[in-house]
Amino acid sequence: SSGINAEWPLRPGDLAQLPVPQLNQLRAQFEEEEQMLTQSLAQLKGVQSRFIESQESVLKLSKKETGKDILVPLTSSMYVPGQLANTDKVLIDIGTGYHVKMTIDEAKGYFTRITEYITKKMEVVQKNLIEKDKLRQVTTEILQLKIQAQQQQTAQQQA
């Protein structure tokens, strides 16, 4: 078969049996997977920082008094003046356009759980990224050795 599925357990001995074109294809596949994992990790870090920022805002809000003057963001660069009407409950965006009213303690718990969940996902992605990098490095080394051997064989045949 010309397609390579890198999901089977790879060992350097297995890789050494593959011809150069398949090794090139496999190395390119590992590079592509590394890029996708790197992008996933960056996206998860962005989401994690937004949740941490939201959690910090909830903590700050719990220390403010009702009636206090505040600036309410309408966009990322436009604000209007307002007053805090209630510091006991907050409206939390839980994704896909859904909002849930929570107490400050519930919101703190929610942000703690979601941040821990994202951190665990980031650890899994990081582990996979390291594994793909190792596989790509081993594949590259074997590929270089095979190409050198072919060049030496060609040179000996011409001599």
In contact, 96 and 32? CB cutoff 8 Å: no
Nearest-angstrom CA–CA distance, 28 and 30: 5
Encode pLDDT of 44-56 as tens digits.
999 999 999 999 9
Helix and strand totals (H; E) in the chain: 3, 4
- The arithmetic mean of pLDDT across residues 92-97, rounded, is 90
**64: exposed, middle or buried (C-beta count within 10 Å: 0-12, 13-18, 19+)?**
exposed
Q: For the whole prediction, is pTM greater than 0.85?
A: no
List 80's β-bridge partners, or say none: 72
Nearest-angstrom CA–CA distance, 143 and 133: 15
- The arithmetic mean of pLDDT across residues 83-101, rounded, is 90
Encode pLDDT of 15-24 as tens digits.
888 899 999 9
Q: Where would I find the beta strands (DSSP E) of 23-139?
A: 69-73, 79-83, 89-95, 98-103
> What is the overall mean pLDDT for the chain?
89
Question: Which residues contact residue 27 at a Cβ distance below 8 angstroms, ignoring those fewer than 6 apart?
Answer: 136, 139, 140, 143
